Amino acid sequence: MAKPVKVDELTTFCQLVLRGFGADAETARDCTDSMMHGSIHGVDSHGVRLLGHYARGLKGGRLNKTPQIQFKRTRAGTGLLDGDNAQGARATYAAIDHACTLAGEAGIGAVGITRSSHFGPAGAYALRAAQRGMLALVTCNSDSFVRLHDGAERFHGTNPISVACPAPGNPWLLDMATSAVPFNRVELYRSTGTPLPDGVASDENGTDVTDPNLSAMLAPLGGMFGFKGAALGGVAELFSAVLTGMKLSPDIDPMGGPDFSTPRGMGAFVAVLDPAAFAGAELVQAGITRYLELLRTSPAQQGRTVMAPGDREWAVALERRKNGISLDPVTADSFSELARALNLKPVV
Amino acid sequence: MAKPVKVDELTTFCQLVLRGFGADAETARDCTDSMMHGSIHGVDSHGVRLLGHYARGLKGGRLNKTPQIQFKRTRAGTGLLDGDNAQGARATYAAIDHACTLAGEAGIGAVGITRSSHFGPAGAYALRAAQRGMLALVTCNSDSFVRLHDGAERFHGTNPISVACPAPGNPWLLDMATSAVPFNRVELYRSTGTPLPDGVASDENGTDVTDPNLSAMLAPLGGMFGFKGAALGGVAELFSAVLTGMKLSPDIDPMGGPDFSTPRGMGAFVAVLDPAAFAGAELVQAGITRYLELLRTSPAQQGRTVMAPGDREWAVALERRKNGISLDPVTADSFSELARALNLKPVV
């Protein structure tokens, strides 16, 4: 690992790179914010390691450098946001802004996102709504990578679901793939030569394997109860693709190319709820406070700790905001190349 | 197993019993509809075996026999429904009706339910919205039965989440507990003396056990990734209890008594979305049709079949509507007692 880079320095570098590849100011800002959400909170799979990927999409034409985002309110509580092939964070932060406005008026606001692209960490968007005192649900689908329950081909994407609820201090924040593990976990096991846990990956025939080198697809969450995980992946399809008229996972071009010139036509979905339209902000605050207190003081198994969703992430964020973020070697190399290509001061 | 009872006969019997214990016509109708949903679709844990339980709640005063349900629209897309301590199906079907009306106007309708009780199968309510051409999400919490990830006490209820989407023929319908298995599965293993699968139940110290007789609590969905299942249980708490100001799972009196006179003060949550406010009913119909076709023709593992959420249930329903429903011995005995107590013609 290279020497840790300060959060501010990394943020500036990401923005300069994206601007250097022609992204407008809003795209550079939002794309950077989403990656920094990942890197700050220890969700490194969706952190700044994606910078080179997004730069390639901007350069190739997959991503519109200067998207004209269009929001159409369809009813009091709903709308459609046409991303104009923007980088996914640009479209999704805009959708969250509109959904918060709708929720402030109609009590709940749901926005279907069309013509978007890979949006990185779902939790970044749900968190933004929670920071404004709202509950949020965010989901998207993605290119096929996860088999169905009893299935033998890549079908759903890792299709994340994120839910956030405002709380004193840090929000309650769930951001989960509907597969058992993300694929980068498999890659980690490969690089360390460690066998995988049971029931997380399968070979080309859908047979579960523990040899990470034989792993050709991920298993849905739940092991022998994987019909639940597969159905949750389906929930992401219904809200992100079916409701918006966008592409189903098996129809989405692979994230990794080789085609980096064609927009991917991805959907996504955000919903935001205003506590004031339900029990009221004070009662909701009292409820989440008691819930988190009961949860965090609940007896743990010997040698274990019980945590609320997000607690691990807030701890990592505290440390990384103080000490900086260490880049893995592949990302560090990619950053050096990007700096050279754009004649920027290197951060590593 | 006793001789199968025809659906119509069983429906009439349930209504007569509930009316016999003083329930008003709406309560008898809705409570019966929810139990019959379970029994017809093979969700027997939430089927007519609950009749005796609800009769006891009506008799004891836990359930209001003649609830004055009050709906208050709080904003264009939201409302609160005060169940007046109704049986849960009575309150939840009413909430779905209101949410569908809200969604027809505002594009989305979310209703928080207060002062309700055990509502049986979550899928019954989501299905009703889907039969009206709407997408729906339904959830509730319940008394503590499931440990947290790494936890050593009963914390969340089995906290179901149901999602439905209209489709040609039968809807796409997910109705899942956020525990790995329902407790009645553990009871089934006890009665047959079979060891439990790994990672579904724990002893009093939170240590996973496969001996069903040592099982004191359920594990969250996900096995070693149980933090996801526990967080999904948390989603049910947030929407059903925190947002509505109702009781958290650890605060809810046990379903099984001994107190059957005090109302349980449970919350629940329903949200309904109108496809016409997103991509439009036609495009959404085309999307779900293609999704289900891709899914049902996706290659399966050797000797397995890939199914969409709900497919198993529709197959069971077809058979049971034709041949009737067989009651387990405990339920058959309870039905005989209820018939004797109310001087009704017995169905078994």
pLDDT in tens, A257-287: 999 999 999 999 999 999 999 999 999 999 9
pLDDT at B2 over 70: no
Question: Is the domain of A292 the same as that of A337?
Answer: no
Residue A234 domain-assigned (yes or no):
yes
Given A155, A280, A299, which is nearest B151 (Cβ)?
Answer: A299
Q: How confident is the model at residue A2 (pLDDT cuts 50, 70, 90)?
A: low
The CATH number linked to A212 is: 3.30.60.50
Question: Is the domain of A139 the same as that of A232?
Answer: yes
Partners of residue A108 in chain B, C-beta under 8 Å: 75, 77-78, 106, 108-110, 271
Q: Give this complex's ipTM.
A: 0.97
In contact, A178 and A146? CB cutoff 8 Å: yes
A140: helix, strand or coil: strand
Q: How confident is the model at residue B28 (pLDDT cuts 50, 70, 90)?
A: very high
Question: Is the domain of B212 the same as that of B227?
Answer: no
What would you report as the CA-atom Rg of chain B, rounded to the nearest whole angstrom?
Answer: 20
Who's near B83: CB < 8 A, 6+ residues apart?
A: B67, B69, B90, B91, B113, B114, B115, B116, B117
The CATH number linked to A45 is: 1.10.1530.10
Given A107, A234, A235, which is nearest B78 (Cβ)?
Answer: A107
- CA distances for A84 relative to A114, A117, A238, B273, angstroms: 8, 10, 21, 24
Whether residues A231 and B176 touch (CB distance < 8 A) is answered with: yes
Q: Is the dihedral of CA A271, A272, A278, A283 positive or negative?
A: positive
pLDDT at B193 over 90: no
Whether residues A107 and B74 touch (CB distance < 8 A) is answered with: yes
What average pLDDT does this structure show over B197-207?
92
Tokens, residue A210 = 């523990």
pLDDT at B160 over 70: yes
In contact, B121 and B104? CB cutoff 8 Å: no
Q: What is the mean pLDDT of chain B?
A: 96
Tell me the sheet residues that pair with B269.
B112, B139
Q: How confident is the model at residue B78, as a pLDDT?
A: 99
What average pLDDT does this structure show over B325-339?
95
Out of A108-117, B32-41, B180-189, B335-344, least confident range = B180-189
Q: Which residue of B has its CA nearest to A78?
A: B107
Pairing of strands A266-273, A135-140: antiparallel
What average pLDDT does this structure show over A122-145?
98
Question: Is the domain of A143 the same as that of A36?
Answer: no
- CA distances for A159 relative to A46, A175, A245, B21, angstroms: 13, 11, 17, 47
Given A172, A301, A304, which is nearest B238 (Cβ)?
Answer: A172
pLDDT tens digits for B218-256?
A: 999 999 999 999 999 999 999 999 999 999 999 999 999
pLDDT at B337 over 80: yes
Whether residues B225 and A74 touch (CB distance < 8 A) is answered with: no
Q: How confident is the model at residue A188, as a pLDDT?
A: 80
Residue A253 domain-assigned (yes or no):
yes
* CA-based nearest residue to A311, from B208, B161, B219, B234: B234
In contact, A178 and A232? CB cutoff 8 Å: yes
Residue A303 domain-assigned (yes or no):
no
In contact, A62 and A339? CB cutoff 8 Å: no
Question: Is the domain of B51 the same as that of B77?
Answer: no
Pairing of strands B108-116, A161-165: unpaired
Partners of residue A309 in chain B, C-beta under 8 Å: 227, 231, 234
pLDDT at B182 over 90: no
Residue A36 domain-assigned (yes or no):
yes
Q: Which residue of A has its CA nearest to B236?
A: A163
Given A197, A235, A287, which is nearest B241 (Cβ)?
Answer: A287
Q: What is the mean pLDDT of chain A?
A: 96
Q: Is the dihedral of CA A199, A202, A208, A212 positive or negative?
A: negative
Given A225, A232, A309, which is nearest B180 (Cβ)?
Answer: A225
The CA distance from B88 to A28, in Å, is 50
Tell me the sheet residues that pair with B147.
B154
Compute the residue count for chain A: 348
Percent of chain B whose predicted confidence (pLDDT) is above 90: 94
Q: How confident is the model at residue B1, as a pLDDT?
A: 59
Residue A282 domain-assigned (yes or no):
yes
Half-sphere exposure of B107 (CA within 13 A, CB side): 26
Provide the residue range defining the domain that includes A337: 1-60+311-348
- CA distances for B257 relative to B59, B157, B193, B262, B330, angstroms: 13, 15, 27, 10, 18
Pairing of strands B172-176, B161-165: antiparallel
Taking the CA atoms of residue A325, residue A330, residue A333 and residue A334 in that order, the dihedral angle to the nearest 10 degrees is -90
In contact, A101 and A109? CB cutoff 8 Å: yes
Question: Is the domain of B214 the same as that of B235?
Answer: no
Given B112, B207, B301, which is nearest A151 (Cβ)?
Answer: B301
Whether residues B298 and A221 touch (CB distance < 8 A) is answered with: no
pLDDT tens digits for A296-340?
A: 999 999 999 999 999 999 999 999 999 999 999 999 999 999 999
pLDDT at B259 over 80: yes
Residue A163 domain-assigned (yes or no):
yes
Tell me the sheet residues that pair with B344.
none
Domains held by chain A: number: 3
Question: Is the domain of B127 the same as that of B163?
Answer: yes
Partners of residue A180 in chain B, C-beta under 8 Å: 222, 225
Q: Mind telling me how many Å the CA of B145 is from chain A's nearest CA?
A: 13
Whether residues A301 and B231 touch (CB distance < 8 A) is answered with: no
Question: Is the domain of A175 the same as that of A323?
Answer: no
The CA distance from A95 to A92, in Å, is 5
Partners of residue A76 in chain B, C-beta under 8 Å: 76-77, 105-107
Question: Is the domain of A232 the same as that of A157?
Answer: yes
Whether residues A291 and B206 touch (CB distance < 8 A) is answered with: no
Partners of residue B292 in chain A, C-beta under 8 Å: none
Given A172, A227, A229, which is nearest B234 (Cβ)?
Answer: A172
The CATH number linked to A103 is: 3.30.1370.60
In contact, A205 and A147? CB cutoff 8 Å: no
Q: pTM of this prediction?
A: 0.98
* CA-based nearest residue to B268, from B231, B299, B289, B237: B237
Tokens, residue A88 = 């996914």
Q: Which residue of B has its CA nearest to A134?
A: B243
Residue B292 domain-assigned (yes or no):
yes
Question: Is the domain of B86 the same as that of B4?
Answer: no
In contact, A110 and B108? CB cutoff 8 Å: yes
Task: Tell which of A242, A246, A288 to mutate to test the B interface (max B CBs under 10 Å).
Answer: A242
pLDDT at B119 over 80: yes
Compute the residue count for chain B: 348
Question: Is the domain of A171 the same as that of A285?
Answer: yes
Q: How confident is the model at residue A1, as a pLDDT?
A: 58
The set of long-range contacts for B36-39, using a CB threshold of 8 Å and a minimum separation of 24, is B36/B7, B36/B10, B36/B11, B37/B120, B37/B121, B37/B123, B37/B124, B37/B127, B38/B120, B38/B121, B38/B124, B39/B10, B39/B320, B39/B325
Whether residues A77 and B308 touch (CB distance < 8 A) is answered with: no
Task: Give residue for tokens 């004797």.
Answer: B340
Q: How confident is the model at residue B98 (pLDDT cuts 50, 70, 90)?
A: very high
Who's near A218: CB < 8 A, 6+ residues apart?
A: A145, A146, A147, A158, A179, A180, A181, A182, A183, A186, A200, A201, A202
Angle between helices B25-40 and B88-106 (to 10 degrees): 90
Task: Tell which of B306, B307, B311, B313 to mutate to test the A interface (max A CBs under 10 Å).
Answer: B306
Q: Mind telling me how many Å the CA of A246 is from chain B's nearest CA?
A: 8
What average pLDDT does this structure show over A105-113?
98
Question: Is the domain of A38 the same as that of A144?
Answer: no
What average pLDDT does this structure show over B64-71?
98
The CA distance from B140 to B119, in Å, is 8
Q: How confident is the model at residue B185, as a pLDDT?
A: 82
Q: Which residue of A has its CA nearest to B104?
A: A75
Residue A154 domain-assigned (yes or no):
yes
What would you report as the CA-atom Rg of chain A, rounded to the nearest whole angstrom?
Answer: 20
